[in-house]
Amino acid sequence: MYWFLPLFLMFYLGRQADVKYAAVSGAILSLFVSSLNMVYLGYLLLHGQKFAGITLSRMGAFLRQPNIHAFLLLGVLPLLFCAFRDKTIRSNRLFFALQIMAAVLGLWSLWKTGSRGGMFGFCTGGLFVFLAVYFREKIGRVVFAFVLTGTILFSGYLFFGITPGNHGYDDTIRLRMLSFSYDMWKDHKLLGVGLANWHAEYVGKYVKEDVVRKAAMEYYMARIKKTNEKFSAKNAANMQKAALKAWSRVYMPHNVPAWFFSATGSIGGIGYVIFVLFYLYMLLQKLREQPGNWMLAAGLWIFLAINIHGLLDAGITDKGIARLLYLMLGLGLSYACVDKATERF
């Protein structure tokens, strides 16, 4: 509930005054600040500086974990792109130029995070909103389903090849996380293990050491084959030891539905599904009624993007991400309830 409070605050503020231009100005400023820090980090890395968890191919502004930074970008970039539909903004050349520059820097930053989930969520959410606005009649439903399905399949393949960094090993780790979380849910189907107990239960009972050791060994063998190194039993043992140590620091399964089902059981997991479906239905209904309301469209886009990315990472289980999502939902819904939108898509 504490993380949810920004929704009520921004809903109230949005009802009191027309704050959409202030919101866009804040998005532009935040993107300039964070993206310029990404440029600075890239400069330092090129000159030999080292930072824990940050590489030249995968960065997060202010040394933030790249995937978390991608989430934060998803919370502001859709607002900026939807605001391009506003005639008042387009008529102000200086502001419009700054908006374009911030959008380009933001997209570059999203790519530099190397987050496939972030890019996939951004693109899929944007396509969903675009089709929801332009194909509201029955004839558009077939087009919508066809294009969306094709985009999902194609983007999943495409982003594997164009995002910076090596993701193959990460993918197998996520699959094991899901497998171990599923085992946890099977033992605690109704109520789960409890939010505060998840880490201890996961590491103590459900992380299978033999599976982790085998995977680490496969990774080591693939690496020495690629680099033509000689096999070293000591290095192989160290690789397995490091893998087990890394698993001891896992505090979430990098999948929001898996987190809720394993931590809070079927009751909490179904609650999360209802939460997503309810907001999706409500936002879509409001957008059909007010297709020119670009603040509402931005709220739907952000909601979709963050929850899609949440299938591969922390999502709303992270405090900062949850607060940003609820803040933007509050703004979008305030414009849905009081139709202040004068522009049309």
Q: What residue segments make up the domains of the chain, in order of their start?
A: 5-164+254-337, 168-247
The per-residue pLDDT for 162 is 61
The per-residue pLDDT for 343 is 42
Residue 101, judged by CB atoms within 10 A of its CB (0-12, 13-18, 19+), counts as middle
The per-residue pLDDT for 157 is 55
- Count the helix, strand and coil residues of the chain and give each as a percent rounded to the nearest 5: 75, 0, 20
**Three-state DSSP class for 54?**
strand
The per-residue pLDDT for 342 is 43
Percent of the chain with pLDDT over 90: 68
At 124, the pLDDT band (50, 70, 90 cuts) reads confident
Mean per-residue pLDDT of the chain: 89
The per-residue pLDDT for 341 is 44
pLDDT of 340 over the 50 cut = no
Name every residue whose Cβ is closer than 8 Å to that of residue 172 and which is 6 or more positions away in sequence.
215
If one compares 144 and 83, the residue with the highest pLDDT of the two is: 83
The per-residue pLDDT for 155 is 62
Considering the entire predicted model, what is its pTM?
0.90
Packed helices 256-289 and 168-187: angle between N→C axes, nearest 10 degrees: 100
Percent of the chain with pLDDT over 70: 88
- Return phi, psi of residue 51, to 5°: -135, 140
- Per the document, the length of the chain is 345
Amino acid at 168: G
The per-residue pLDDT for 106 is 97
The per-residue pLDDT for 164 is 73
Which segment of 96-110, 186-200, 236-250 scores lowest on mean pLDDT?
A: 236-250
Taking the C-alpha atoms of residue 281 and residue 55, their distance in angstroms, rounded to an integer, is 40
The per-residue pLDDT for 95 is 97
At 139, the pLDDT band (50, 70, 90 cuts) reads very low
If one compares 68 and 136, the residue with the highest pLDDT of the two is: 68
